[in-house]
């Protein structure tokens, strides 16, 4: 599919967006020869990566993620930044459709010169989507984008996946009265380095104030992810471009506090090591499952485990023994 990886590498380094799009298609492919080319390309580009701030953005459908990304993205471009937007949308794997894949989203940003908007890779498992998005993020950095936004839908595991590939995690919420914390799971709130109450405009402005207070008190009882950053809650209106510059000030403050303390680098190093081990585990499992010796044993072992005749640990050991014994 790619004739010459060296040429593609040079084009990406030069910031060629068509080459970047092509390279992302390459890393999204599951074909073995494409994977091989993708690995060569990524390895060659590693020295060009790492020079962006990586932001994760999450919130339930309808909270205003794409409106927010458009507002923040356009603001950043005005400030001279270049912005890439990626997505992790596991719903596309489950339903075949996609929450984040809608083509009409982020229209002005998608056509802006210094922006690059890429929907979530379709038809893959969360693990697959996560891997491709991580690799795409590195490609975007190599192409010179200095702000990378990774969007995800608020459906549980995907938030953790996005927090694990970004530096700072932004959680968008709606203004809501009452003391219910919008059913947001504590685990998700604990990932947030900045909470934004969006749609704080018009009739909702007062409700937003109440929501700010509720979440501020909730944050008091939570442990922050970083020693040198205390998460906070802010209001904004993405539709009316209000509060967007303050959001960016917070991102800058986060970045300098963590960079100065060495925590940003430590976190990235930890993310890279964790990624290496999860890749290793996934590749090993895939190889094991494809192994003829193992395959012939699986039906019998699965049945024994299902019927309660064999402990799962013993069955696992047998699979591994056969895997290791036969080449």
C-alpha 150/C-alpha 120 separation (Å) is: 10
Looking at beta carbons only, is 207 or 278 nearer to ligand GDP? 207
- Residue among 62 and 299 whose Cβ is closer to ligand GDP: 62
- Cβ-based nearer residue to ligand GDP, 37 or 166: 166
Q: How would you class 18 by CB atoms within 10 Å of its CB: exposed for 0-12, middle for 13-18, buried for 19 or more? A: exposed
**Residues at the contact surface with ligand GDP, assessed by CB under 6 A:** 59, 61-67, 198-199, 201, 237-239
User: What minimum distance in Å lies between the beta carbon of 35 and ligand GDP?
Assistant: 31
Looking at beta carbons only, is 63 or 143 nearer to ligand GDP? 63
Q: How far apart are CA 140 and CA 20, in angstroms?
A: 7
- In the complex, the smallest distance separating the C-beta of residue 268 from ligand GDP, rounded to whole angstroms, is 27
CB 62, min distance to ligand GDP, A: 5
User: Smallest gap, in angstroms, from Cβ of residue 190 to ligand GDP?
Assistant: 21
DSSP element (H, E) containing 153: strand 147-153
Phi, psi of 10 (to 5 degrees): -65, -40
DSSP of 188-232: HHHH-SEEEE---SGGGHHHHHHHHHHHHHHHHTS--SSTT---E
Q: Which residue is nearest to ligand GDP (CB)?
A: 64
Nearer to ligand GDP among residue 119 and residue 226 (C-beta): 119
By beta-carbon proximity to ligand GDP, the closer residue of 244 and 315 is 244
Contact (Cβ atoms closer than 8 angstroms) between residue 150 and residue 61: no
**Residue 50: CB minimum distance to ligand GDP, A:** 28
**Torsion-angle region of residue 270: left (phi > 0), alpha (psi -120 to 50) or beta?**
alpha
Smallest distance from the beta carbon of 250 to ligand GDP, in angstroms?
17
């Amino acid at each position: 599919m790619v004739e010459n990886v060296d040429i593609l590498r040079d084009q990406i380094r030069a910031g060629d967006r068509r080459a970047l799009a092509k390279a992302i298609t390459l890393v999204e492919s599951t074909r073995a020869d494409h994977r091989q080319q993708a690995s060569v390309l990524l390895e060659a580009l590693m020295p060009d990566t790492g020079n962006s701030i990586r932001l994760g953005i999450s919130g339930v459908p309808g909270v205003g993620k794409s409106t927010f990304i458009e507002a923040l993205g356009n603001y950043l471009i005005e400030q001279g930044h270049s912005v890439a937007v990626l997505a992790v949308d596991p719903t596309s794997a489950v339903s075949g459709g996609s929450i984040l894949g809608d083509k009409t989203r982020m229209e002005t940003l998608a056509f802006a010169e210094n922006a690059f908007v890429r929907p979530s890779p379709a038809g893959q498992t969360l693990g697959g989507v996560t891997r491709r998005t991580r690799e795409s993020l590195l490609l975007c950095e190599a192409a010179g984008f200095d702000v990378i936004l990774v969007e995800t839908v608020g459906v549980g595991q995907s938030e953790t996946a996005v927090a694990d590939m970004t530096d700072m995690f932004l959680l968008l919420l709606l203004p809501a009265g009452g003391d219910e914390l919008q059913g947001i799971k504590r685990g998700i709130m604990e990932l947030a380095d900045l909470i934004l109450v969006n749609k704080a405009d018009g009739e909702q402005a007062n409700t937003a104030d109440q929501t700010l207070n509720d979440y501020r008190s909730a944050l008091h009882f939570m442990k922050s992810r970083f020693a040198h950053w205390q998460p906070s809650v802010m209001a904004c209106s993405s539709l009316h471009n209000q509060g967007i510059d303050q959001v960016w000030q917070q991102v800058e403050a986060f970045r300098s506090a963590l960079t100065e303390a060495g925590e940003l680098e430590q976190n990235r190093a930890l993310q890279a090591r964790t990624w290496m081990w999860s890749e290793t585990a996934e590749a090993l499992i895939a190889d094991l499952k494809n192994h003829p010796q193992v395959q012939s044993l699986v039906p019998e072992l699965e049945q024994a485990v299902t019927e309660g005749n064999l402990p799962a640990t013993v069955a696992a050991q047998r699979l591994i023994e056969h895997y290791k014994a036969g080449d």
